[in-house]
Structure 1
């Protein structure tokens, strides 16, 4: 399921830390300062991943551990195949390191974590506990199709 925002960034927060995300009452301003992708510290040592830049529709491909941000395309048909075909040849930029205790939840950063599932849509990212570098690339198979992708690279 894709997550849409009302104009701000998407946030990816550990399920266990959702009550700590304060949305527009505190954390949102800090999230808006992130250009492309960044990590914010939360209370109790948890970390949140911020997907900044433009407010793009964002989905997760669990088999590939990739977040897909829709820049533009003529159709939704075949998007997964387009992304998967582009991943091996993408020019990846190394990104920040995110530590997590397991299941993550992606939603509009403007909302409180406690509003997930009631006032705002979300999607779950099932990653094992550990440290992941979040690399970024563009997948642009032609001039009418562009996606920004972020992959989770597990670190030892």
Structure 2
């Protein structure tokens, strides 16, 4: 798994086609920092929507085969994380989250950066999703008292 981190603020997930509209520290970063829930949705000027991973600035990875973002709360090591998550998904107690509309591929990056800096000044992770509407549900995967991950799944809406 490839983990993405921030410099202390939230991560944001923006449609690739709308990256130029993410203003980073010129305004959108402040709006992203106001999200106190696990996830929140912000409107962008062009009608696109951005998903904010609120709460804490946790290391985050994407499991594309399950359309799940994995946020590292705590664990003794990184060995077998994907297997831990796969095993925990069927029994996770999901909390329904906000709806997010997208035109296709999403890009996750540190909210402090301008969208046009993705791929040059900041690392990012691509999330391959088809165009449409998704509900972003949240749950915890805690197989033992030494391991905890927060997960967010993209559930396609009809």
**Structure 2 partner of 1:155:** 157
Task: Note the 1:2-151 alignment, pairs <5 A.
Answer: 2-35=3-36, 36-151=38-153
Query: What runs of 5+ residues in structure 2 fail to find an aligned partner?
Result: none
Shift of 1:3: 1.1
* 1:69-89 Cα shifts (integer Å, max 9, x gaps): 000001111000000100010
* 1:59-100 Cα shifts (integer Å, max 9, x gaps): 000000000000000111100000010001000000000000
Report the TM-score when normalising by structure 2.
0.98
Report the TM-score when normalising by structure 1.
0.99
* Total equivalences in the alignment: 156
Shift of 1:135: 0.1
- Structure 1 outlier segments of 4+, above 4 Å: none
Q: What secondary structure, in the 3-state scheme, does the structure 2 residue paired with 1:45 have?
A: coil
Shift of 1:43: 1.1
